[in-house]
């Protein structure tokens, strides 16, 4: 599986190979989630080296010492297969060949690479005709064949396009899935408030997938009739295979209404950030 393609990781290059003749390695080498992965790997190695050099157990006077090795050394990335969204790569299945420096053992290296996504907890405050003020959130319901469910409830979300415009993508998904247009300033990136630039987002399945979620919240006042019109509204892009209907649920009961990791993570971050006075 010799290959002329490689990933740039800091000052070194990692071979990018495949045994699948249908895989276009040139295209894979330009896949933005893979480039982001390589960049993060370089940062992780630099941080590990810096920590080892600053450790009190590190003997800096030893002239025979060699450069510290990171705790995990990645030697090769094999591309098993790719799936396309039209002309561009949507997903890539990889096998990362790596070794634990101390023991020489191999850590799990299978990766389903798909890149990041945005999700938004939309909190709508409205006053009923009887004068009761309540808060609701909007759930989308659509077929999810991986579960499988024909009507799975979750908060609005969508894959990132590689532009890095998290807020713009979030607003776009709300418009496409819910038919709701919001000012960008009304969307608050909860993951940035919680973690700064340390992490790209929240990782729902780090054991085998690179996907991260930028979790947003938006609080909006809405008239009662306008709120009621959202229930059952159809959304999504039909030419993209989306078949979405909307559902309203009281915010206090949202955790019971949907076993959606995006929703549950958003609720946890929202409540924690409120408790810390950041929201």
What's residue 240's pLDDT?
57
pLDDT in tens, 36-81: 999 999 999 988 888 777 766 655 545 444 557 889 999 999 999 9
pLDDT in tens, 104-152: 999 999 999 999 999 999 999 999 999 999 999 999 999 999 999 999 9
Are 219 and 125 within 8 A, CB to CB? yes
Give this prediction's pTM.
Answer: 0.88
Q: Which residue has the tokens 């740039």?
A: 8
How many angstroms separate the CA atoms of 15 and 4, rounded?
A: 8
| Residue 245 CB contacts under 8 Å (≥ 6 apart), including other chains | 140, 141, 142, 151, 232, 233, 234, 235
Whats the size of the chain, residue-wise?
279
What's residue 36's pLDDT?
94
Alpha-carbon torsion angle 264, 266, 269, 273, nearest 10: -140
When mean pLDDT is compared across 3-17, 45-59, 92-106, 188-202, the lowest value belongs to: 45-59
């Amino acid at each position: 599986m010799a290959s002329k393609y490689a990933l740039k990781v800091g000052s070194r290059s990692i071979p990018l190979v495949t045994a699948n003749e249908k895989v276009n390695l040139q295209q894979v080498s330009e896949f933005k989630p893979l480039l982001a992965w390589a960049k993060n790997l370089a940062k992780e190695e630099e941080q590990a080296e810096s920590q080892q050099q600053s450790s009190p157990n590190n003997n800096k006077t030893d002239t025979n010492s060699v450069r510290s090795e990171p705790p995990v050394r990645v030697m090769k990335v094999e591309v098993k297969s790719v799936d396309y969204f039209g002309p561009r790569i949507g997903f890539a299945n990889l096998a990362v060949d790596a070794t634990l420096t101390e023991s020489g053992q191999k850590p799990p290296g299978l990766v389903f690479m798909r890149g990041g996504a945005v999700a938004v907890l939309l909190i709508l405050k409205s006053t009923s005709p009887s004068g009761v003020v309540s808060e609701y959130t909007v759930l989308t319901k659509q077929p999810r064949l991986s579960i499988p469910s024909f009507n799975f409830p979750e908060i609005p979300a969508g894959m990132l396009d590689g532009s890095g415009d998290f807020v713009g993508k979030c607003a776009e998904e709300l418009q496409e899935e819910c038919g709701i247009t919001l000012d960008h300033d009304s969307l608050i990136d909860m993951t940035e408030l919680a973690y700064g630039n340390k992490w790209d987002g929240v990782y729902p399945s780090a054991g085998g997938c690179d996907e991260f979620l930028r979790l947003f919240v938006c609080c909006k006042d809405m008239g009662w009739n306008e709120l009621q019109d959202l229930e059952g509204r159809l959304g999504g892009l039909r030419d993209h295979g989306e078949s979405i209907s909307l559902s309203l649920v009281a915010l206090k009961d949202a955790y019971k209404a949907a076993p959606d990791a995006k929703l549950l993570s958003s609720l946890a971050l929202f409540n924690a950030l409120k408790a810390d006075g950041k929201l």
